Amino acid sequence: MAKQYEFSSRRLPYLLVLPQMVIVFVFFFWPALQAVWQSLYMQDAFGLSMIFVGLSNYVRLFKDPSYLNSLFISFAFAAVVAFSAMILALFLAVQANRRIRGAAFYKTMLVWPYAMATLVAGVLWLFLFSPNVGIIAYFLKHSLGVDWNHLLRAGQAFLLVSIAATWKQISYNFVFFLAGLQNVPAALVEAAAIDGAGPFRRFWSVVFPLLSPTTFYLLTMNLVYAFFETFPIIHQVTEGGPGQATNILVYRVYKDGVINLDLGASSAESVILMLIVIGLTVLQFRFVERKVTY
């Protein structure tokens, strides 16, 4: 049990959290409020002409088939990336947690990709799979007869950005899963073994429930990652294409806001994206967290 501290002054605790609150307000709440405000206007790039349009930026979006497509793509992408990155990381963590030769080496190698910028990860995978010069694309074509061309094939493009985004996130998940696994008391696992539980049963009934706080935390982080932080991969590998096959919401916000200088539409898109992620997080805390045993 953690000790409880009492502050002698009532103001002191507020004073201590103040710097953090100021940062959160200036860099998170203030821009978010600005986005909400700007989403109610149609305006030119320089802000010389502002027309109040109410919710019509939002209405326009939901009537736009390409936006609905982006919504669908984003959810599919987030689900695929979060699920794959967590399953693979859990598998690797379980393997690395066993007593094997060179465990430290494996662990180090598995954590390495996390040190890499997401953009660089995108460049790397693009280079491997580039239909013109990529070594994997060449292998697929000449050895397996797969005509790899993610520049024109929507499914392949989606697969490629999913692989790149997943690969980048595995390291992060791996570290947390490994730490979680090392906290599972060996006595519990041994007791289950003596009771006759096989390896799978031991994992599923003893280890996995004890990992649930880690899993829950990672689920939240992975969804946030897939919705927001995968931007550099999309930007580098597909630019949202071919057609709009990988045009996820966060990439649209960038394109409309930064490239097209359409702040009204871009703000409305970012508000919706924010609501989606807040909504998902709330849902997780209300429904998934109940199944978590701390």
Partner 1 sequence: MKRLVIALAAFALLCGTAFAEPVTIEFWHAMGGKNGDVTQAIIDKFNASQGDYKVVGVFKGSYADTMNAGIAAFRAGQPPAILQVYEVGTATMMAAKGAIVPVYKLMKEEGRSFDPHEFIPAISGYYSTSAGQMLSMPFNSSTAVMYYNKDAFRKAGLDPAKPPTTWPEVFADARKLKAAGYAGGLTSNWFGWIQLENFSAWHNLPFGTKSNGFDGFDTRLVFNGPLQLRHLTNLYNLSKEGVFIYGGRDNAANTLFTSGQVPIHFESIGGYGAMKSTCTFDFGVAMLPYYPDVKGAPQNSIIGGASLWVLAKQSPAQYKGVAAFLTFLSKPDIQSYFHEQTGYLPVTLAAYKLTKEQGYYKDNPGLEVAIRQLNYKTPTPNSRGIRFGYMPQIRTICDEQWESILGGKETVKQGLDNMVRLGDELLRKFEKIAEAE
Token pair recorded at residue 203 = 């994992």
User: Does 244 participate in binding partner 1 (rule CB under 8 A)?
Assistant: yes
- The binder of partner 1 chosen from 13, 47, 198, 199 (CB under 8 A): 47
User: Does 258 participate in binding partner 1 (rule CB under 8 A)?
Assistant: yes
Return d(Cα 186, Cα 184) in angstroms, integer.
6
User: Does 239 participate in binding partner 1 (rule CB under 8 A)?
Assistant: yes
Smallest gap from Cβ 46 to partner 1, in A, equals 4
- The binder of partner 1 chosen from 51, 68, 109, 282 (CB under 8 A): 51
User: Does 246 participate in binding partner 1 (rule CB under 8 A)?
Assistant: no
User: Does 42 participate in binding partner 1 (rule CB under 8 A)?
Assistant: yes
User: Does 252 participate in binding partner 1 (rule CB under 8 A)?
Assistant: no
- The binder of partner 1 chosen from 106, 128, 216, 242 (CB under 8 A): 242
Residue 178's closest CA among 104, 116, 87, 92?
A: 92
# residues contacting partner 1 (CB under 8 A): 29
User: Does 33 participate in binding partner 1 (rule CB under 8 A)?
Assistant: no
Smallest gap from Cβ 76 to partner 1, in A, equals 18
- The binder of partner 1 chosen from 44, 105, 108, 191 (CB under 8 A): 44
Return d(Cα 64, Cα 76) in angstroms, integer.
19
User: Does 132 participate in binding partner 1 (rule CB under 8 A)?
Assistant: yes
User: Does 261 participate in binding partner 1 (rule CB under 8 A)?
Assistant: yes
3-state SS, residue 50: strand
Cα of first residue to Cα of last residue in the chain, in angstroms, is 13
Smaller CB distance to partner 1: residue 223 or 250?
Answer: 250
CB–CB of 208/231 below 8 Å? no
Return d(Cα 145, Cα 76) in angstroms, integer.
28
Token pair recorded at residue 160 = 């490629």
User: Does 179 participate in binding partner 1 (rule CB under 8 A)?
Assistant: no
- The binder of partner 1 chosen from 33, 151, 191, 283 (CB under 8 A): 151
Q: Is the dihedral of CA 146, 150, 155, 156 positive or negative?
A: positive
| CA-based max dimension of the chain | 76
User: Does 256 participate in binding partner 1 (rule CB under 8 A)?
Assistant: yes
User: Does 69 participate in binding partner 1 (rule CB under 8 A)?
Assistant: no
**Alpha helices for the chain (secondary structure H):** 11-24, 30-38, 56-63, 65-96, 103-111, 118-129, 135-143, 154-182, 186-194, 199-202, 208-210, 212-224, 231-237, 249-254, 263-283
**Binding residues vs partner 1 (CB under 8 A):** 42-49, 51, 130, 132-133, 151-154, 239-244, 255-256, 258-262
